[in-house]
Structure 1
Amino acid sequence: MKRPLAAARLAIAIAVAAAAVSPLAGNASPQTSGPSQVDVPVAAAAAVAIVDRFGTALAAADYDTIAALLDPDVLILESGGAERNRAQYLQHHAISDAAFLQGAQVRLEHRRARTEGDLAWVASESEIRFRKDGQPRAVSSTETMLLKRGPQGWRIVHIHWSSRPKKTP
């Protein structure tokens, strides 16, 4: 089964990195630009920071940080497929996701986050621009991450990525 260039997964990861409009966003993370609509209450800021760190680490192929931010039993759903734990993701799609992100430009368009006790969710919508076969391409990307707070802080326990092609100008 051919995946759409893992663009959905990367789109989401990029959306995460795009939201990382922080001092870390200047190095290996994707370029971000343009205004975005962000609805993140103070109570959710620490969980959003983990999502941002994950996106930045993925764009930099920093697998140690990626591993530290994912729960060992993380469930990642994308394009009808599933990776059922951290090891499975790191051994397979994390590598292609990181490679994709190195040449992509991400623009966060919308983000909303909420917390309830030790659970948080962060939903992001982004546009990701990249080149494939020398041609400019773009996808609309959506990402939902569920995080759980434990003794070591917030960890990502679930990711759902989805994307669809956009017409490029």
Structure 2
Amino acid sequence: MTSSGRSAFRSSGVALSPSPPTMSLSLVGLVSLLLAAALESTSLPMQIAAPADPMVNGAQSDSASVAATIRAYHEALTAGDSLAALKLLTPDAVIVEAGGIETLADYRSHHLASDISFAKAVKQTRGSIHVRVRGDMAWATSTSEATGESRGRPVNSVGAELAILTRTPMGWRISAFHWSSRSRRS
């Protein structure tokens, strides 16, 4: 914490994590992984909702497990189960949304409750989850549509999500989420 009471991560832009370095995903690491994903052009993403080509080295089951972890996270939010949602995040997870970056502690204390409230109030239709696995890291992209009312305001939006996951002894866990959304164009 800084003298202003904000976490050092948010005020300085530098990831300071009490977790072991092997599980740490700094902002530089997140940006590097996002850049690698953007530059990847040799393979097409596997679409979980559609039949996939046979894959080697368990990549198909890894992809299915990654997608299942992401679905379980969203199901936990919709059910209002913050503990189940938090168990699917790594201790050093970062949430990137609305122009800011939150540590897991920031997210737990500031934003998780509003994400649960939104998930419970608004009908969300999620698109297919596209997964890429590279060793013990994976990233997944998906889109969604949201309609309904939240906090007394109408919602009619489309969104995109990028999740970065790490293989742990407990299975795949979410190391980073990036969400963006906009009002649906008429």
Is the 1:120–1:148 contact (alpha carbons within 8 Å) kept by the matching residues of 2?
A: yes
The residue type equivalent to 1:51 in the other structure is I
Give yes or no for the alignment of 1:46 onto 2:54: no
Is the 1:105–1:129 contact (alpha carbons within 8 Å) kept by the matching residues of 2?
A: yes
Q: CA deviation at 1:87?
A: 2.0
For 1:90-101, list aligned pairs within 5 A.
Answer: 90-101=108-119
- What SS does the aligned partner of 1:74 have? strand
Specify the alignment match of 2:168 in structure 1. Answer: 150
Give yes or no for the alignment of 1:120 onto 2:138: yes
Structure 1 residues 167 and 72: CA distance shift in structure 2, 3 A = same
Q: CA deviation at 1:111?
A: 2.7
After superposition, the C-alpha distances for 1:9-66 in whole angstroms (9 at most, x for unaligned) are xxxxxxxxxxxxxxxxxxxxxxxxxxxxx81252300011010000011111211111
Q: CA deviation at 1:136?
A: 3.8
- What SS does the aligned partner of 2:129 have? strand
Q: Which segments of 5 or more consecutive residues in structure 2 lack a partner in the other structure? A: 1-45, 53-59
Structure 1 residues 93 and 133: CA distance shift in structure 2, 3 A = closer
The residue type equivalent to 2:109 in the other structure is Q
The residue type equivalent to 2:132 in the other structure is R
- Between 1 and 2, higher relative CO (CA 8 Å, sep ≥ 6) is seen in 1
Q: Which segments of 5 or more consecutive residues in structure 1 lack a partner in the other structure? A: 1-37
Is the 2:156–2:183 contact (alpha carbons within 8 Å) kept by the matching residues of 1?
A: yes
For 1:25-44, list aligned pairs within 5 A.
Answer: 39-40=47-48, 42=60, 43-44=62-63
Is the 2:67–2:129 contact (alpha carbons within 8 Å) kept by the matching residues of 1?
A: no
After superposition, the C-alpha distances for 1:79-115 in whole angstroms (9 at most, x for unaligned) are 111102x222111100011011111111123431111
Specify the alignment match of 2:77 in structure 1. Answer: 58
**CA–CA distance in structure 2, aligned partners of residues 135 and 96 of structure 1:** 14
- What SS does the aligned partner of 1:102 have? helix
**CA–CA distance in structure 2, aligned partners of residues 143 and 134 of structure 1:** 25
Q: CA deviation at 1:130?
A: 1.8
Equivalent residue in structure 2 for 1:106, among 103, 110, 124: 124
Is the 1:146–1:157 contact (alpha carbons within 8 Å) kept by the matching residues of 2?
A: yes
After superposition, the C-alpha distances for 1:130-163 in whole angstroms (9 at most, x for unaligned) are 2157564311110000000011111100100000
Equivalent residue in structure 2 for 1:68, among 60, 80, 87: 87
**CA–CA distance in structure 1, aligned partners of residues 147 and 94 of structure 2:** 26
Cα RMSD (Å) of the superposition?
1.8
Give the TM-score normalised by the residue count of structure 1.
Answer: 0.71
**CA–CA distance in structure 1, aligned partners of residues 126 and 141 of structure 2:** 11
**Identity of aligned pairs, percent?**
35
The residue type equivalent to 2:108 in the other structure is L
Specify the alignment match of 1:140 in structure 2. Answer: 158
Is the 1:137–1:167 contact (alpha carbons within 8 Å) kept by the matching residues of 2?
A: no
Which structure 1 residue ranges, 4+ long, deviate > 4 Å from structure 2?
132-135
Query: Which one has a bigger Cα radius of gyration?
Result: 2
The residue type equivalent to 1:48 in the other structure is A
Is the 1:137–1:166 contact (alpha carbons within 8 Å) kept by the matching residues of 2?
A: no
